Structure 1
């Protein structure tokens, strides 16, 4: 049984799934519809649906007529509540066309608590309580008589600590209900029954979506519906046809300016009769950047229920995002979607926004810096801030720039990201990231509001020129959540660029076509809108908004931004999957316990160092320590048979903790004191004890990698293959702790240590000199922060 982990619980059940009136086909369609609606709701609420990594992270389990999802503390619980209106809307869309036997009405229970994980699934009082809330007779009765498609019951704790704390959750719509819960008496809970939405009023642009049999009639009738004029204009009596609708997805950063240009474009399409010929619907992508997320948005779905979410045009910030999606389409064998990138509508650059006081301390002048110097800033006590590469195109490009500089290569493919000491170099970069947000605007908001002595005043932010211009102009900052600042209220940020150029945001105009090409009328509108965005007046508007024009020139408003520095094109230089895998591993912190064998076998001399194996082990730890960053933790044991208290096999020399100067000084002293004893080795008992010790902490395995690194004689130092097999079985279950063995004997790994380390997700290395020792340390670093061997 593992240590319990706190999880938010979202439990769903199809009401009346087992009704005799339903056929097996009805049940199949209802289940498919439920999953489709939930995926859509989770996507819109920015909740994780697809499960990556180990079983202690996101967890979803099918229950036949429902399912439950467990969400880790790293995901805000507010998002579970935010998903509910989207879920109700998705159910209405599904039920509108569903046959009577496949109509879905969902009951949802919300709770949070401690959950136990085991190889078969999950358990715990919190799970039992949520299931019983879902089945509470009072809730089921009120829902059955309501006619609602969605009913929600929230535990008292969840309502008071999550729902009731945010007015956006419409907490007044929840009613206090005393329910009957087996084993818990009559606790209080809060119930909300979502009313069905009234059909939208008929109008020129948004007609109700009728059942399939009558859509043809509606299509004919729409020709006679009068159009509504823009505000301040005389109404139009009648139009021969509705305007051609084109949906445009844009990055959050460009939404406001593109929306304004689209409205002007619509007005310009009016004919002599006053009727608009085009209706350009501009919406921002909820997940800019990140091919995985983009694939599961409606505009790339193959699900016919999501057709209204499909886009005709995509305006991302970078062609790097287009490459991401194209690769993901190939990988997922989606041949029905094609992306065509046309000439860009604007350009911009990545920029290092450095607080003025920090720039003065570093002696920076002008606008250019060298990447080698930038990577040295953390050694002088400074940090970086960056948006997440999964959630932001700016964060993706910033990560690429840092990784290219750290590895000394312009090509970031699997080979470059995993070879040699790449893992430790990237980990060093990630350890210097003091602030990471899902939106660059939040970084700048935090800087705007930071106190004079705050950590951010010693942090260089990697953002786009556009965002920095907005910041310097005291403008609101995108979706960052903060309004205008003032010259005295925010620190000055100075722009700096690498002398050889900074990555380019080329802002392409991308058309999205599917199996059936767009109708000729829609294609003409798309072509005309592209031409409109590239006309001189539109280009001037984009420059006024903080962008460079398509040719790369700036305006007077951008006087702090040098126009002549080159922009680096990243297309065909970055492989998406290897990059994001490397980032995900390199950003993790590591909690590492080193354990040194001080048995009699370790008294043998070690080549080229003029000392014995114990001294070589101490030197190895000295070499490994600089690989660890400020968020990592380190500890030290020595082990040999009977060396500890009560004839134990180990002794703690330095408790596991942050590598602060005091602990490092203590560790260095204890390494110098290590010496071989005349005792037997006792390797496998020490491994077992070390793993049990590391499992005592409550570190989230999604955020922290726990590892035990044994430096030992190796073969012949344990009871034999039988105990190795038993230990391997023990290590393969329970909380994950990786085990690495650096063995001095040449036949150690094959003698059983391979089996032990592989069962724990680690590796065994045999060494015969310091060159092999360094290779082993590189392999361990790759396992902790890079690609496991």
Structure 2
């Protein structure tokens, strides 16, 4: 079984060999070899990488998904002609029953991979067109070897306004097959549009026609003149000149905003006819979320390389993350030779991080006016934040700030204190019993089981910036630049801001909508997140399940008890005697960390092990970590220090050192 993948906008091409089933088995195998040779060679001649496509064999044909990075116009401008040429070359040296004539159908749209193959409405449509009677009849009527049908939308979006695709060679037809009924467009590469099937001649009467009165002639002239200036029957203007191709606008948004941004993008696309001449469609918008905000940010940091088109989708022109700290992270991580630059602009929405609680829990921790104090939830179980998203990382930032009082992560006690918070994380449903949900105001308000509570004092908020992604290695596309500016204005328009409020966000000014309590307000002070990537690493390290081997003498009993208090049911503690061979025994027990704690001398420990192991050595008395001791030697041999923890502060120092070794930032 496979894991469903994120839907990607793909060009879908399907081919079918005419008359395949009527041939002998040997001829069918010869035809299949010839078909694949023709496809691969034609792709190569057109500069398309056959190995980069997803293709599935269909016996008498092939389904091909072309990568999103390949311009759709190239698929119909060059590939059908190259394919026809390769088929003619094949047919010239074959017997009649080994020759190949192809029906080809092309569509484009969102396609998803699941455990059994690919699925999507456009895949279904491509096969409906392939099996349609007009396409079969077209191949029968053309002297060529290929008949091509494209969907109505593909023709309108790709072919119609691109002279290089020869739109005049296409003919509109009506398709009725299975549950599909609609228009499509036909052509025969190298032979133009196949002529329509001749209509039966109408029988004419042999009766003599009456002469038309001469006074009718002037009226006829008037009608002919009218038809040259208007559509006399529709009372409309003459047909406008061909529209230019609409500007493609790719928008990368967070999962938090996907639904409302998609809706607003559809409105923007429809409204683009108002700012173009002759009412032409001015823009085509594609909204994607990538696999996660974290992966999308990594792709932007790399400059959105070719491989990112497959994993994350089409390269964005506009990025709508949840928070500005995500943009800061990408700016810091941008490769020196990256081909993108980020132009950050103001917010299009806002959303504070709040607490969701069941009615019973809210009754215990709520103070005046729906407020709570973080100290009041210090022992409450927490729903796990998804730190791969910007909104989830902001929730982790709010929890970290509540625990640390700051988001500076360079203090030695940070791993220990973050571990104290992350150990309360659970997979249990939020807002049920005593499980609280720390998340954006929108997320909490969308959960009908949650009561909204606002943190007293400083808090974290999402500011949802508008970011223009600019290519630095290409000339400026002025048409797209104008479209991006109009899209930004559209998102800030009164109607779009009202849609944001209805969707559960606050608008760009921070005004709440109808979702949640009308008295809701942002925190008095918004806490900045100085380094989102560092926070994510620290949080995920502190939350990571651990298998720990502990070997301690009698003085380490207190440390052992404290360490057990930091473990969760997902962790495992293995107790071992502090003897020679203890590190190898730890590896055999499956531990990734070995804690050696002693106040006095210990037997020599081996310098290497048969598996990966991190060693944490703690000297529980003065001089226990002297360079000549076996404890210090074991730590030194594995690249870690031996920390001396003596005196009244010793137990706390020892616990902090152990926590750094187990839940610090190491991989």
Considering the TM-score relative to the shorter chain, is it more than 0.5? yes
Of 245, 248, 252, which aligns to 1:245? 248
CA distance in 2, matches of 1:335, 1:355: 47
Q: Is 1:540 matched with 2:498?
A: yes
Note the aligned Cα RMSD (angstroms): 4.8
Q: How far did 1:567 drift?
A: 6.4
Structure-2 change in CA distance of 1:362 and 1:634 (3 Å)? farther
Match of 2:560 in 1: 621
CA distance in 1 between counterparts of 2:51 and 2:374 reads: 46
How many Å separate the matches in 1 of 2:423 and 2:612?
A: 24
Q: Deviations over 1:259-312 (max 9, x none)?
A: 33233333333258653352141312124432x543326994144995982221
Determine if the alignment matches structure 1 residue 632 to structure 2 residue 571.
yes
| Alpha-carbon displacement from aligned partner over 1:134-188 (angstroms, at most 9, x marks no partner) | xxxxxxxxxxxxx9xxxxxxxxxxxxxx947x99699xx9xxxxxxxxxxxxxxx
* Partner residue in 1 for 2:452: 495
Structure 2 distance, partners of 1:710, 1:397, is 37
Say whether 1:218 aligns with 2:164.
yes
Asked if 1:327 corresponds to 2:205, the answer is no
User: Where does 1:175-574 land on structure 2 (aligned, <5 Å)?
Assistant: 201=151, 202-207=154-159, 218=164, 239-271=242-274, 274-290=278-294, 292-296=295-299, 300-303=303-306, 306=309, 309-329=314-334, 332-362=335-365, 366-374=369-377, 376=378, 378=379, 382-390=380-388, 392-409=389-406, 412=407, 416-435=408-427, 446-447=429-430, 456-472=432-448, 492-515=449-472, 516=474, 518-555=476-513, 557-560=514-517, 562-566=519-523, 568-571=525-528, 573-574=529-530
Q: Does 1:778 align with 2:656?
A: yes
Pick closer, same or farther for the CA change 1:636–1:288 going to 2, 3 Å.
Answer: closer
The answer for unaligned runs of 5 or more in structure 2 is: 4-40, 55-61, 80-101, 103-113, 125-147, 173-181, 183-233
Q: Distance in 2 between matches of 1:562 and 1:363?
A: 15
Pair 87,549 (structure 1): closer, same or farther in 2 beyond 3 Å:
same
Match of 1:740 in 2: 617
How big is the shift at 1:92? 10
State yes or no: 1:709 paired with 2:587.
no
Q: In structure 2, how many angstroms separate the alpha carbons of the residues matched to 1:86 and 1:754?
A: 64
Alignment of 1:570-719 (within 5 A): 570-571=527-528, 573-597=529-553, 614=554, 616-629=555-568, 631-634=570-573, 636=575, 683-685=579-581, 687-688=582-583, 691-692=584-585, 695-697=588-590, 705-714=592-601, 717-718=602-603
Distance 1:770 1:512, change over 3 A: same
State the 1:522 CA deviation.
Answer: 1.6
Q: Cα deviations across residues 575-631 of structure 1 (Å, max 9, x unaligned)?
A: 13322221221111233343333xxxxxxxxxxxxxxxx4x4334434544444454
Q: How far apart, in 1, do the equivalents of 2:600 and 2:149 lie?
A: 76
Map Cα deviations across residues 355-411 of structure 1 (whole Å, 9 max, x no partner).
11222344656311112222x2x2xxx311133212x111110111111111111xx
CA deviation string 1:202-250 (max 9, x = no partner): 5121359xxxxxx99627x5799999xxx9x999765331222222222
Rounded Cα–Cα distance in structure 2 between residues aligned with 1:36 and 1:761: 45
Checking the alignment, whether the CA contact within 8 Å between 1:742 and 1:766 is kept in structure 2 is yes
Q: Distance in 2 between matches of 1:269 and 1:167?
A: 32
CA distance in 2, matches of 1:434, 1:35: 46
User: Contact 1:345 / 1:549 at 8 angstroms: preserved in 2?
Assistant: yes
Partner SS for 2:658? helix
**CA shift for structure 1 position 525:** 1.5
Cα separation, 2, equivalents of 1:568 and 1:395: 20
**How far off its partner does 1:748 sit?**
4.1
When the two structures are superposed, what TM-score results if normalisation uses the length of structure 2? 0.62
Cα distance in structure 1, aligned partners of 2:375 and 2:64: 50
Q: Secondary structure at the match of 2:607?
A: helix
Distance 2:287 2:497 in 1: 20
Q: Which residue of 2 aligns with 1:756?
A: 634
**CA spacing shift, 1:500–1:36, aligned 2, 3 Å:** farther
Task: Quote the Cα distance in structure 2 between the aligned partners of 1:588 and 1:249.
Answer: 30
How many Å apart are 1:562 and its aligned residue? Answer: 3.1
C-alpha deviation, 1:775, in angstroms? 2.6
Task: Verify the 8 A CA contact 1:352 1:495 in the aligned structure 2.
Answer: yes
Label 1:743 to 1:268 Cα distance change in 2 as closer, same or farther (>3 A): closer
Equivalent residue runs for 1:78-157 within 5 Å? 89-90=66-67
8 Å Cα contact 1:258/1:282 also seen in 2: no
Which residue of structure 2 aligns with residue 452 of structure 1? none
Supply the distance in 1 between the matched residues of 2:306 and 2:530 (Cα, whole angstroms): 30
Deviations 1:59-100 (CA, angstroms, capped at 9, x unpaired): xxxxxxxxxxxxxxxxxxxxxxxxxx9996449959999xx9
Q: Is the 8 A contact 1:431 1:630 kept in 2?
A: no
> Is contact 2:416-2:656 (8 Å) kept?
yes
Classify the secondary structure of the residue corresponding to 1:457: coil
Distance 1:206 1:559 in 2: 44
1:420 is paired with a residue whose SS is: coil
Instruction: Measure, in 1, the Cα distance between the counterparts of 2:494 and 2:255.
Output: 23
Paired residues, number: 493
Q: Aligned partners of 2:70, 2:574: CA distance in 1, in Å?
A: 56
Q: 1:365 to 1:302 in 2, by over 3 A?
A: same
- In the TM superposition, what whole-angstrom CA distance separates every residue of 1:472-491 from its partner, at most 9, and x where no partner exists? 3xxxxxxxxxxxxxxxxxxx
581, 601, 607: which one pairs with 1:728? 607
CA distance in structure 2 between the aligned counterparts of 1:216 and 1:756, rounded to whole angstroms: 71
Range with bigger deviation, 255-264 or 754-763:
754-763
Change (3 A) 1:588 1:288: closer
C-alpha separation in 1, matches of 2:484 and 2:268: 11
Structure 1 unaligned spans of 5+: 1-6, 9-25, 42-84, 101-146, 148-161, 174-197, 209-214, 436-442, 449-455, 473-491, 598-613, 640-682, 700-704
Give the direction of change, closer, same or farther, for the CA distance of 1:743–1:86 in structure 2 (3 Å limit): farther
1:338 CA drift (Å): 1.3
Deviations 1:523-550 (A, max 9, x none): 1121122112212222122212221111
CA contact (8 A) 2:556 2:597 kept: no
**Contact kept in structure 2, 1:249 and 1:285, CA below 8 Å:** yes
Contact 1:592 1:709 in 2 (8 A): no
Q: Quote the Cα distance in structure 1 between the aligned partners of 2:524 and 2:167.
A: 49
Give the direction of change, closer, same or farther, for the CA distance of 1:336–1:750 in structure 2 (3 Å limit).
farther
Instruction: Measure, in 1, the Cα distance between the counterparts of 2:488 and 2:248.
Output: 15
